[in-house]
Amino acid sequence: MTAEHRPAAVLWDMDGTLVDSEKIWSISLADTARWLGGELSRAAREDMIGSNMARTLVIMFADLGLDRDPARMAQAEQWMNVRTSELFAAGLEWRPGALDALRTVRAAGWPMALVTNTERALTEMALDSIGREHFTVTVCGDEVPHGKPDPAPYLRAADLLGVPADQCVAVEDSPTGSTAAERAGAAVLVVPCEVPVPTGPGRVHRRSLVGLTADDVRDAYDQVRTDRVA
């Protein structure tokens, strides 16, 4: 494959893609809902997967039938962050094949970014487990005007790397994140975790990151480019 058909960079989602933290978020979200006096529905929890804090709180308050009082929402955000920090501090488990995939992509010479809707303070805790050395840049949900599904996080990561977003491969597990990467113009390698992710011309699906090779990344990029031209 010629250089022009190689991706310029690989952009990684975090929760549910690299680390099995969606289960931790499920605990934190359920605990926060109970702190607010209710029970979070399964449909609301699934809708939150891949979302940023602002959208998550809107979904939660609507699901619990609560008014969107800014002060109360700010209190809920603070409580949730403290609870999630406690759970993160206990350690994060890798998703199957994720660590080897990071090492493989890094060895292939592509710059990598971590692009997450999780806020910076919690991301820093996660990086203690993941390893900062894998990433040239990291972009968090509280560092862009709008989180995923808006393309802003991916556009910001590409800009920091000095490459066009449409020449990148993004690795995602959720519909929200896949939509964000697709809107940014990136080729999306979808590895679903908690919920199914719809197919689309900008997406290549894979069951897991186990056994991922550099050729797999190139092939995903090339397939999306071909599909977009067709």
Question: pTM of the full predicted structure?
Answer: 0.85
Domain residue extents for the chain: 3-20+93-229, 22-89
pLDDT of residue 230: 61
pLDDT of residue 50: 78
CA distances from 66 to 70, 71, 227 (A): 11, 13, 44
Q: What does CATH list as the number for 22-89?
A: 1.10.150
* Nearby residues of 200 by Cβ (< 8 Å), 6 or more positions away: 178, 182, 188
- 128 neighbors 122 (Cβ within 8 angstroms): no
Give the whole-angstrom CA distance, residue 193 versus residue 49: 10
* Nearby residues of 218 by Cβ (< 8 Å), 6 or more positions away: 1, 5, 6, 7
Residue type, 133: E
Give the whole-angstrom CA distance, residue 66 versus residue 137: 38
Which parts of the chain register pLDDT below 70?
A: 1-4, 229-230
pLDDT of residue 6: 87
pLDDT of residue 228: 79
pLDDT of residue 3: 45
- Is the domain spanning 3-20+93-229 CATH 3.20.190.10? The answer is no
Alpha helices in 108-230 (DSSP H): 120-130, 152-161, 175-184, 214-229
